[in-house]
Amino acid sequence: MRNRTNRDLARTAIAAIALLLCRSPATAGQPAKAAAGPDPYTAAARATGVPLDLLVAVAGTESGFHPLALNVKGREIYCRSVAEAKRILSTTDNVDIGLMQINWPFWGRRLGVSKSDLLDPKSNLLYGARILKEPLTRGGDIWRRVSDYHAGSVTTRNLYNHKVYSVYLAYLNGRITHSPRAAAPRPGVERVSVGTGYAR
């Protein structure tokens, strides 16, 4: 019975993501435009063709919508200011940066941007959407493609996909918005990922 329930849940999730990918990014759950133009999420989704709902779900999963989120060697840090984030960035290259938690050692030089550039929410969302777009264009299992953004073991990928799907459903059901502060912890609060072995 449990395997059947898991299979049914997996099929439902796959169908939801497949429908999401078939939707036009120009109409996929877009919020109303601000007078100054689209918000950074909508702009990144339009520029890359990544569905807005999926981009929001990945950003929410990666950073809790905190634009100055850093992950230094497994330690999550929510900076109070750009100056604080830049100070921390000056001490390490082993860091994931911003809303989309772009991994600096792997992507920074490939993208041709500085660590400070990735603190800008617009740039971070655009680069993150470009990174996410690449696996989405490949064939195969949709959840494998989504989890390619995060990578890791099969167990890690499954946990990641569950988190993305939960944020995706919460966004679709109006329980969260993609406001940078909507789901963020208090600035300056540090969370240490379990099992990282990294201590301050």
pTM of the shown model: 0.73
Q: Flag whether 158 is in a domain.
A: yes
Whether residue 36 is contained in a domain is answered as no
Does a structural domain hold residue 199? no
CATH of the domain at 144: 1.10.530
Asked whether residue 42 is domain-assigned, the answer is no
The residues pairing with 97 across neighbouring beta strands, listed in sequence order, are: 70, 102
Single-letter code of the amino acid located at 180 = P
Give me the pLDDT at residue 87, please: 98
Query: Is residue 198, in this structure, part of any structural domain at all?
Result: no
Report yes or no on 18 lying in a domain.
Answer: no
Task: Please give the chain's pLDDT, 200 residues, in tens.
Answer: 544 444 444 444 443 443 344 343 333 333 333 346 679 999 999 999 999 999 999 999 999 999 999 999 999 999 999 999 999 999 999 999 999 999 999 999 999 999 999 999 999 999 999 999 999 998 788 888 999 998 889 999 999 999 999 999 999 998 887 654 433 344 444 433 322 222 22
> So what's the pLDDT on residue 9?
42
Q: Which domain holds residue 116?
A: 49-189
Report yes or no on 155 lying in a domain: yes
Q: Based on the structure, what is the number of domains in the chain?
A: 1
For residue 117, count other CB atoms closer than 10 A to its CB.
16
